[in-house]
Amino acid sequence: MRTVVLRRGLAALFAAAVTFGAITQAQAETLRIGYQKYGTLVLLKAKGSLEKRLAAQGVQVQWTEFPGGPQLLEGLNVGSIDFGVTGETPPVFAQAAGADLLYVAYEPPAPHSEAILVPKGSTIQSVKDLKGKKVALNKGSNVHYLLVRALEDAGLKYSDIQPVFLPPADARAAFERGSVDAWVIWDPYQAAAEQQLQARTLRDGQGIVDNHQFYLATKPYTQKHPEVISTLIEEVRAVGEWSQANPQEVTDQVAPLLGLPADITLTSVKRQGYGAGFLTPEVVAAQQKIADTFTALKLIPKPLSIKDVIWTPPAKVATAP
């Protein structure tokens, strides 16, 4: 009798171990992607082509929306997602904070898809007029660098303005109330403010920043699943090329997902950069300049080396554009 009970106990333990192993394996085979209300990942999510490609590799896709790049990279840092997209600046702050992240790919410049906005009735006519003013922005986001560069170009220091750090929704509310004098923001929030509030563009990124979008992943995930990352970038590039050629179709598909009117969505779609590729030495150098700028401003504690956190794709895809 004891032998039977022991065998049953061992069988139960074996079954539990198999079940636990299956659960663990299923979790390992889920690619968790973080996205925001802009960019090619929104289009990729809407199209559904990535799920079909990765299903053949036994990988499921899970999507999580974030309000901004800093929040998304925090998600990467704590392990709640494996992959995501942000603007230029968030990865610099994340690296400075010790996040174990790698730059995987980037999109071409999109300098018109971020801007410093002022209310339609504002007396502020130039960036120089921002001296002593309250400027809302999402700390550590792509627009943080735009603001620094715009001030520098106008002969002002970062310390000449009063930064008010707010996420997009709160910043818009403060902007509408008149609690801040200007708002530095990206699309589609930028396009929405321009069209719904008649906000005026004081300066966009043209001539002073590239406004690259960067795709990043956790270092452990890239090491374990390089083929999944390669497939993902192939799909991002493909949907980007399709989107650039079909802006109206993209708008019709994405506007309901974003909860935005078609005209606002179309403006955002047209201002994006399309054609994801692996990082070039020139892009790495530009990102290094951003890191050095924030180090000089003492907004990050120590110098960084961007080249140390660049993913090297497998040889078979390393020559992709």
Question: Is a pLDDT exceeding 70 seen at residue 318?
Answer: no
Q: What span, in angstroms and rounded, lies between the C-alpha atoms of 110 and 210?
A: 6
Question: Is a pLDDT exceeding 50 seen at residue 4?
Answer: no
Report, as an integer, the average pLDDT of 169-198: 97
Question: Is a pLDDT exceeding 80 seen at residue 10?
Answer: no
The pLDDT confidence band at residue 32, using thresholds 50, 70 and 90, is very high
Question: Is a pLDDT exceeding 60 seen at residue 22?
Answer: no
pLDDT higher at 28 or 176: 176
pLDDT of residue 43: 85
pLDDT of residue 172: 98
The pLDDT confidence band at residue 96, using thresholds 50, 70 and 90, is very high
pLDDT higher at 13 or 47: 47
Three-class secondary structure assignment of the chain: CHHHHHHHHHHHHHHHHHHHHHHHHHHHCEEEEEEECECHHHHHHHHCHHHHHHHCCCCEEEEEECCCHHHHHHHHHHCCCCEEEECCCHHHHHHHCCCCEEEEEECCCCHHHEEEEECCCCCCCCHHHHCCCEEEECCCCHHHHHHHHHHHHCCCCHHHCEEEECCHHHHHHHHHHCCCCEEEEECCHHHHHHHHCCCEEEEECCCCCCCCCEEEEEHHHHHHCHHHHHHHHHHHHHHHHHHHHCHHHHHHHHHHHHCCCHHHHHHHHHHCCCCCECCCHHHHHHHHHHHHHHHHCCCCCCCCCHHHHECCCCCCCCCCC
> Tens of pLDDT along 134-163?
999 999 889 999 999 999 999 999 999 999
Lowest mean pLDDT among 28-42, 98-112, 260-274: 28-42
Report, as an integer, the average pLDDT of 235-249: 93
Write the single-letter amino acid at 180: V
User: HSE (CB half, 13 Å, CA atoms) of 248?
Assistant: 0
- Residue 239 and residue 49 in contact, taking contact as beta carbons nearer than 8 Å: yes
pLDDT of residue 316: 60
CB atoms within 10 A of CB 163: 16
Report, as an integer, the average pLDDT of 184-207: 97
pLDDT of residue 69: 87
Q: What percent of the chain has pLDDT over 90?
A: 78
The pLDDT confidence band at residue 104, using thresholds 50, 70 and 90, is very high
CB atoms within 10 A of CB 72: 25
Question: Is a pLDDT exceeding 70 seen at residue 244?
Answer: yes
From residue 7, give the alpha-carbon distance in Å to each of 14, 16, 20, 208: 10, 14, 20, 72
Question: Is a pLDDT exceeding 50 seen at residue 319?
Answer: no
Domains, the chain: 9-109+213-256+300-309 (3.40.190.10), 111-204 (3.40.190.10)
The pLDDT confidence band at residue 317, using thresholds 50, 70 and 90, is low
The pLDDT confidence band at residue 68, using thresholds 50, 70 and 90, is confident
Write the single-letter amino acid at 295: T
In terms of C-beta density within 10 A (0-12 exposed, 13-18 middle, 19 or more buried), how is residue 258 classed? middle
Q: What span, in angstroms and rounded, lies between the C-alpha atoms of 186 and 146?
A: 10
Task: Show the tokens assigned to 58.
Answer: 């036994």
Report, as an integer, the average pLDDT of 58-66: 95
Question: Nearest CA to 122 among 131, 130, 114, 110?
Answer: 130
Question: Is a pLDDT exceeding 70 seen at residue 295?
Answer: yes
pLDDT of residue 29: 87
- Residue 239 and residue 246 in contact, taking contact as beta carbons nearer than 8 Å: no
Report, as an integer, the average pLDDT of 54-80: 92
Q: What span, in angstroms and rounded, lies between the C-alpha atoms of 66 and 60?
A: 20
Report, as an integer, the average pLDDT of 173-200: 97
Report, as an integer, the average pLDDT of 210-226: 95
Q: What span, in angstroms and rounded, lies between the C-alpha atoms of 295 and 290?
A: 9
Mean pLDDT score across all residues of the chain: 89
Report, as an integer, the average pLDDT of 167-174: 96
Report, as an integer, the average pLDDT of 227-237: 95
User: Tokens 């923001």 correspond to what residue?
Assistant: 185
Task: Show the tokens assigned to 206.
Answer: 């043209």
Residues facing residue 135 across a β-bridge: 163, 182
